[in-house]
Structure 1
Amino acid sequence: MSTVVTFGEIMMRLATPLGERFEQTKNFEVVYGGAEANVAVAIARYGGKSCFVSKVSDDQFGDAAKGNISIHGVDTSHVLKGSGRLGKYFYEPGYSQRPSKVIYDRDDSVFSNSKPEDFSWEEIFDGASWFHFTGITPALSDRLIAICEIALKEAKLRGITVSCDLNYRARLWTKEKAKKVMTELMKYVDVLFANEEDSESVFGIRAEDTDVSDGRLSVEGYKDVAKKLKKRFDLKAVAISLRESINANFNRWSASLLYGEEFLLSTKYDINILDRVGGGDAFAAGLIFGLDSSWEPRKALEFGVAASCLKHTIKGDFNIVSRDEVEKLLGGNTSGRVVR
């Protein structure tokens, strides 16, 4: 079985208990996660082979971050250690009409200070079939922009499929810099992931008749967005998650996939949310797992959306579900009855 390689930062997440705000909490719940790490863990949980590439602090926090990935079967042999601090983020879960909040504490982290010579991509890509990164990684530092470009060039030289999730984060960089950097990196990408806001924020391509603030989405609008993205960057496929946010605890969740000239729309799920962080990563991992396993695009799309649906019910960044559990949901087992 070939390997999916992901590259990015893993952080310590410190979350307030549900219902408590930053100003009032006396306790933070600690887990570890990050977009690319979340994808690697999910793929391993689905039964695939994944390798996470990163750099963590040479201390107990770095050990904990690495251990929390490897316990799920991810290859962490290319997670390096170095002097410096592990990045962190603070998370305040939303409730009803109150949105969730994130505060980053990742400036000058050990990963953001990575150097090109830290990573041996020839060794990393040995036996790899797929490489995945997100727009978060180049947003962290100019050094990481250069490292991403090196990795992407090496991947393309080896005929490895490359996917990117735009994952625009306004707290990390400006729209202007994101557009400049990501436009250059897109020349190496085969499969692009975006959500209802990313394409507009990064490339100025907006879905008509859509307003994410009130949960209103136009499927036809996103079909047009996918076609424009595919044409502009000569992509093999464009996947767009379609989140209808009714409130912080209840969303309608589906996705679309433009694969070649075929536009597919998935099943839509009504989700009562426990933790939405990592939901998009679970979807990306499911679609990558399916396509890398040579599934038909429809099957891969439905698997990714169902896997992401389940992630919304699990605390933490990682999608702690099995392929069997996802397939049972796909088979119509949606009652939530006790399994004995």
Structure 2
Amino acid sequence: MKKVVTLGEIMLRLSTPGYERFIQADSFDVVYGGGEANVAVSLANFGYDAYFVSKLPKNEIGQAAINHLRRFGVSTDYIVRGGERVGIYYLESGASMRPSKVVYDRAHSSISEAEASDFDFDAIFKDADWFHFSGITPALSEKAAYLTEEALKAAKKHGVTVSVDLNYRKNLWSSERAKEVMTHLMQYVDVCIGNEEDAEKVLGFKPGETDVTSGELELAGYRNIFEQMKERFGFKYVISSLRESYSASDNGWSACAYDGNEFYHSRKYDIRIVDRVGGGDSFAAGVIYGLLEGKDFKDALDFGVAASALKHTINGDFNMVTVSEVENLLKGDASGRVQR
């Protein structure tokens, strides 16, 4: 069984019931989630040994986060206990023309103040096949950026394939700081995943005249920047999700990828959104699964897009679908008929 390692922060998510606004809500729904944790859950659902590496406080809330991961088959053997708190984010789900809103309360979380010496990376990456991280983790703090690089060095030392989801978060750091840190970390990356905003804000590449808010995608622009990114950083694959935001409730969802020779645009799904948080993470996990299974990059991309389309129909951060469910959608069964 393939061993996949992810590193990052799992947070307590407090979301308003239904589509209530923050100022309306008298209570919050509780789940746990975070970029790399979401990827680990998807890959565990797909049958891999998925390990999530983090630091959580030694209290009941930290334990609840660990229990949530274990519930879905993720190994928590490499989670260190200590620090002061679990990061929190508040979610107000949008609808129609009203966008969703996120408010972070994650300063001084345990992982943001973790030391590299807290982790035995040689043990963590022993016999590992894949390591995934995102641009969110190094954005948390200077310590988290250093921790991420130490993990990347260990992964490469052990011959592990590395993927990144660029994941720019303007509430965590500036574009200038993101470029400084992430450009340096790209030397360790084999598979680069992101979207049009990530490419521009994190690495400085803008895909032509694409405007996702109007639903206009200029695919030639994506190919152009993919060629530049591959030439500069030596990525094996450059991959972008493509979200066409018709409204907060309805999106077009597809992706494109480049392997140095061929540029490929996947099938597009028109999706009615139940919960879009974690959509990009489920896409990354699907692509990782496809590549680890030996699929060519086009089939891996199609698997990732289909897996993520299904995630948009599931409440919470985690994508709780099976390989067979993704494969059924890939075969063209998007009817949503009751399964009896």
* Fold shared per TM-score above 0.5: yes
Deviations 1:150-196 (CA, angstroms, capped at 9, x unpaired): 11111111111111110000000011110000011001101000112
Structure 1 residue 297: Cα displacement: 1.4
Deviations 1:34-57 (CA, angstroms, capped at 9, x unpaired): 000000000111122211101112
Structure 2 counterpart of 1:172, which letter? L
In the aligned structure 2, how far is the partner of 1:271 from the partner of 1:181?
34
In the aligned structure 2, how far is the partner of 1:211 from the partner of 1:296?
29
Question: SS where residue 199 of structure 1 aligns?
Answer: helix
Structure 2 counterpart of 1:268, which letter? K
Structure 1 residue 208: Cα displacement: 1.0
The answer (yes or no) to whether the contact 1:272–1:313 under 8 Å persists in 2 is yes
Structure 2 counterpart of 1:35, which letter? G
Structure 1 residue 120: Cα displacement: 0.5
In the aligned structure 2, how far is the partner of 1:110 from the partner of 1:153?
22
Structure 1 residue 83: Cα displacement: 3.2
Identify the residue that residue 253 of structure 1 maps to in structure 2: 253
In the aligned structure 2, how far is the partner of 1:305 from the partner of 1:48?
19
Deviations 1:260-318 (CA, angstroms, capped at 9, x unpaired): 32211111000000000000000100100111121121221111100000000000000
**Structure 2: which 5+ residue stretches go unaligned?**
none
Identify the residue that residue 51 of structure 2 maps to in structure 1: 51
Identify the residue that residue 297 of structure 1 maps to in structure 2: 297
Structure 1 residue 85: Cα displacement: 0.7
Identify the residue that residue 235 of structure 1 maps to in structure 2: 235
Question: SS where residue 252 of structure 1 aligns?
Answer: strand
Structure 1 residue 229: Cα displacement: 1.2
- 1:281-296 counterparts in 2 under 5 A? 281-296=281-296
Supply the RMSD in Å over aligned alpha carbons.
0.9
Identify the residue that residue 127 of structure 2 maps to in structure 1: 127
Residue 44 (structure 2) pairs with residue 24 (structure 1): no
In the aligned structure 1, how far is the partner of 2:260 from the partner of 2:291?
13
Structure 1 residue 210: Cα displacement: 1.0
Structure 1 residue 321: Cα displacement: 0.6
In the aligned structure 2, how far is the partner of 1:236 from the partner of 1:214?
31
Residue 88 (structure 2) pairs with residue 88 (structure 1): yes
In the aligned structure 1, how far is the partner of 2:48 from the partner of 2:294?
13
- 1:7-18 counterparts in 2 under 5 A? 7-18=7-18
Alignment: residue pair count: 340
Identify the residue that residue 73 of structure 1 maps to in structure 2: 73
In the aligned structure 1, how far is the partner of 2:216 from the partner of 2:242?
10
- 1:1-340 counterparts in 2 under 5 A? 1-340=1-340
Structure 1 counterpart of 2:204, which letter? G
Structure 1 residue 215: Cα displacement: 2.7
Structure 2 counterpart of 1:312, which letter? H
In the aligned structure 1, how far is the partner of 2:83 from the partner of 2:278?
28
**Structure 1: which 5+ residue stretches go unaligned?**
none
The answer (yes or no) to whether the contact 1:226–1:240 under 8 Å persists in 2 is no
Structure 2 counterpart of 1:275, which letter? D
In the aligned structure 2, how far is the partner of 1:281 from the partner of 1:14?
19
In the aligned structure 2, how far is the partner of 1:237 from the partner of 1:113?
32
In the aligned structure 2, how far is the partner of 1:213 from the partner of 1:115?
40
